[in-house]
Structure 1
């Protein structure tokens, strides 16, 4: 059965980025690091590094291979958490490591990769069959930077 792995291309500091990611997301690890021994379009032997890693239960591959395209909002990694304490912990770790807050639970890490730090309950609230409740939650969420679970619950419950 095929395995799907998201590939993240870093110009530099792939090893530092991956070490940071696995340090803040529970059940994460670096699985293998490989230095390519042959010349590549990115440079001489040894200039390309591949880092296979797992965040939670999702497989990723980080590649340090020199400049190419920058990360942008068309790709982000969502971290679904259980409570406000986890949002606060992970959000704070990203900001303390040079990240920048954006809107609606999004932030960018210091390498430019976009992340969404959101409670699992949010998707259930937005998908609720009572569309008025779902609308209230959505409107409140759209006005947030870091997600505030209590404010979402208040909007949801009217």
Structure 2
């Protein structure tokens, strides 16, 4: 078991969210589902905690009620190998009530913030030629979903 695990608090959609997330990433699965018992505090038999893996990374999702909600102070960042992967994840995560945000950020239908980041952007921003890197940064700052061709054009000075 990994030493540190991300713990996500949902009102009552932990299992639904976990099943949605595992449908998006290879090497993902539900590990276990724990249910509330007679001791509560939830309704006996309902889902309490879902343990799941996304791309091999372990998460816990709790149905804890409406006490806490997600905000952008915590986000899940996804390193994407291609524009196709960016497009696929962006479409899936913003569907059915998700919200696009600036600079590759979005909120999914459950309120969880995600950063959908192409690897190529990271490479451009780390380039030793700071003029190129800053052109890529300026282009990215004007985007919602990150578009690699537009980044490449800005990086090249076109």
Q: TM-score, normalised by structure 1?
A: 0.91
Distance in 2 separating the partners of 1:64 and 1:107: 22
Count of aligned pairs: 157
Distance of aligned partners of 1:89 and 1:48 in 2 relative to their CA distance in 1, 3 Å threshold = closer
Query: Aligned runs of 1:10-89 on 2, under 5 Å?
Result: 10-37=10-37, 39-40=39-40, 42-47=41-46, 49-89=48-88
- Give 1:81 shift: 0.8
Distance in 2 separating the partners of 1:39 and 1:118: 43
Distance in 2 separating the partners of 1:47 and 1:29: 20
Note if contact 1:48-1:65 (Cα within 8 Å) is conserved in structure 2. no
Distance in 1 separating the partners of 2:150 and 2:119: 15
- Give 1:134 shift: 1.0
- Give 1:119 shift: 0.5
Distance in 1 separating the partners of 2:50 and 2:71: 21
Cα deviations by residue, 1:18-74 (Å, 9 ceiling, x for unpaired): 11111112221111111132534x435445511111111211100112112110000
Distance in 2 separating the partners of 1:66 and 1:14: 10
Q: TM-score, normalised by structure 2?
A: 0.91
Structure 2: 5+ residue stretches without partners:
none
Distance in 1 separating the partners of 2:136 and 2:39: 52
Note if contact 2:42-2:48 (Cα within 8 Å) is conserved in structure 1. no
- Give 1:155 shift: 1.4
Note if contact 2:105-2:113 (Cα within 8 Å) is conserved in structure 1. yes
Structure 1: 5+ residue stretches without partners:
none
Residue 91 of structure 1 corresponds to 90
SS of alignment partner, residue 146 of structure 1: coil
